[in-house]
A = this chain, B = another copy of it.
Amino acid sequence: MSNGAQTRIARSRTKVLAAASDVFLREGYLAANMEQVASEAGVSIQTIYSHFKGKEALFLEVATHMAGGAASAVSNSVEMLPRDTSVEEWLTHFASQQLKIVMTPTLMQLRRMVIGEVGRFPQLGRTLYEAGPGRAIARLTTLLEHYSERGEIAITNPERAAKQFNWLLMGGPTTEVMHLGDGAIPTEPEMRTQVHETVAVFLAAYGRDHATGGRPDPQADAFGE
């Protein structure tokens, strides 16, 4: 195949994906149909089927693409921090990025639609979970290990602590927006407050300053270790 033909194919695929995102988010999975996607993409329905086997395959591709884009945006922003960043600065930056990138109408609509279709498309829910909270928790776990080795925090089970940080931060805002609609997306000042409160409670429980002050380790508390 010539380069020109490859470029044309890639372009038409991109147009189909963009139109499909709009149609699925607007109509929901069940009500959306391939004719609408073809018409909005300005291609024939045969062109769509040359790229994707059918509605389910197209939906999976749209959802994976959107969720993956958000996860990469958080990771890239966080990779740019200097090496001597303190645990408090790192958590604050990570949490701010996480909230700002996840709390958007598009991602929240996608999440509602995927959750509503989990019975029919379990793979889709798994994909969205792994690209979203799963990836955030994995990233947090690695960094909590790092700061624990450096002695800035006292954590025996970094993955457990990473989940706690993640849900302290994201549990309220996401559940509210899932139920109450996009009007419940926090404003910028509300996001700053949420970030500060989360970091403060987390470090009050796990911060080294405090842990050396004779307080019991909350993880040891829980298991009598």
| A positions within 8 Å CB-CB of B | 28, 30-31, 109, 112-119, 122, 125-126, 128-129, 133, 160, 163-164, 166-168, 170-172, 174-176, 178-181, 193, 196-201, 203-206, 209-210, 213-216, 218-219, 221-223
Contact = CB atoms under 8 A, between A and B. Distances in A.
A116 B122 contact: no
Nearest to A174: B175
A129 B184 CA distance: 12
Contact of A179 (B114, B196, B222): B114
A129 to B, nearest CB: 4
10 residue pairs, one from A and one from B, having the closest CB atoms: A116-B116, A171-B171, A167-B171, A129-B179, A204-B218, A200-B218, A204-B205, A196-B222, A200-B221, A125-B179
A200 B214 contact: no
Report which residue of A167, A174, A219 has the largest number of chain B beta carbons within 10 angstroms of its beta carbon: A167
Copies of this chain, complex-wide, total 2
B201 A164 contact: yes
A60 to B, nearest CB: 14
A206 B210 CA distance: 12
Contacts of A168: 164, 167-168, 171
Given A166-B171, A171-B172, A204-B215, 14 more contacts: A112-B116, A114-B179, A115-B178, A116-B116, A133-B175, A166-B172, A167-B171, A168-B171, A193-B222, A201-B205, A204-B221, A210-B210, A213-B213, A215-B215
Contacts of A115: 112, 115-116, 178-179
Nearest to A221: B200
A219 B133 CA distance: 26
A41 B51 CA distance: 46
A171 B181 contact: no
A159 to B, nearest CB: 11
Contacts of A179: 114-115, 118, 125-126, 128-129, 133
